Amino acid sequence: MGNDEVEAGATANVAAKRLTGTEALKAHVTLALGLALCVTAFVFEIERALGGNDLSWAYVFEWPLLGAFSVYMWWRVIHPEGPTRASKEPTLAPEFDGMLAAWREHQRDLARNQESTSPERESK
């Protein structure tokens, strides 16, 4: 396996499969129960806050945020592929170009040495 194949394999983007069947049903039920809990807690806390408990005002805003986050996470679980971003090679400071070239050459040498010694190992 050449160095280019190693680099391509290391950066290959493996697409995750979308949930279906019982796994999707479990995710939907978990979301429904979580949202029911968030709505119930929101109603409870708003009643307490309107009754004079100042600390409950923080929870009045916390529970809807938690519910929104749970919807976001549910969506990510059901659709794991998500939005794809174009992968670009990371930029490298100019002073490290020589080091990168030397490293790549070293990787090529290792791959060549591994290929040349592989048949010897098989014959033993």
**15 vs 81: CA distance, rounded Å:** 6
Alpha helices in the chain (DSSP H): 3-11, 21-50, 56-78, 97-123
Per-residue pLDDT at 108: 94
Cβ neighbours around 24 below 10 Å, total:
13
pLDDT tens string, the chain, 124 residues long: the values are 444 444 444 444 445 677 778 888 888 898 999 999 999 999 999 999 999 888 989 999 999 999 999 999 888 888 887 666 666 777 778 888 888 889 999 999 999 998 888 765 555 5
Per-residue pLDDT at 116: 82
Pick from 85, 33, 92, 43: which is nearest to 64 by CA? 43
Per-residue pLDDT at 12: 43
For the chain, the residue count is 124
**86 vs 95: CA distance, rounded Å:** 26
Per-residue pLDDT at 124: 52
**17 vs 79: CA distance, rounded Å:** 8
Per-residue pLDDT at 16: 63
Per-residue pLDDT at 64: 93
**30 vs 45: CA distance, rounded Å:** 22
Rg (CA), the chain: 27
Sequence-separated (6 or more) residues with CB below 8 Å from residue 108:
2, 3
